[in-house]
Amino acid sequence: MTTTTRPTAPPEAYAKAALVALALSLTAGAVAGWVRSDEFWLVAVVFAVCTLGPAIALGWLIFVSGHTVQPDPHVEDSVEARWVERACSGAFIDLVVAAGVALTLTSVLDLEVPGGLVLLAVVAGAGIDAVLRYAVISRRES
């Protein structure tokens, strides 16, 4: 039986990643709590907890992934890379067109749309569009 050893990063890399994650999430929580003057601690804890996951991912990406992930030198040659590229470029064009149409409609109809809602729609719409495009392309061309 053969065994493979997963590459690991030195302990200080994990420590740095954890410190950066904690610093980022605590900062986000503190800023969110400071901006909303009432119920500082509740807001700060909620935002710190919500941002901890992405902050850990960012810390891992910066300090750990360089040790544990070995880049594939031929990744760009795979058909999947081409599908991702096409799906993302298509989603970007869809996003620009949708934003233009939405802007026209809100101007004509004199609508006030909350900025947070717009950003959420942009992020979710672009992500879903890219995933759907990838699914269609891969099904059609595999």
Which chain residues interact with another protein by CB under 8 A?
Answer: 72-74, 76-80, 82, 141-142
Q: Which is nearer to another protein, 107 or 142 (CB)?
A: 142
Find tokens 């991702």 and name the residue. Answer: 84
CB of 2 to another protein, least distance (A): 16
Q: Which is nearer to another protein, 6 or 74 (CB)?
A: 74
SS3 7: coil
What contacts 105, CB < 8 A, 6 or more positions away? Answer: 111
CB of 45 to another protein, least distance (A): 44
CB of 78 to another protein, least distance (A): 5
Q: Which is nearer to another protein, 76 or 112 (CB)?
A: 76
CB of 141 to another protein, least distance (A): 5
Neighbours of 28 (CB within 10 A): 18
CA distance 52 to 18: 10
Q: Which is nearer to another protein, 78 or 104 (CB)?
A: 78
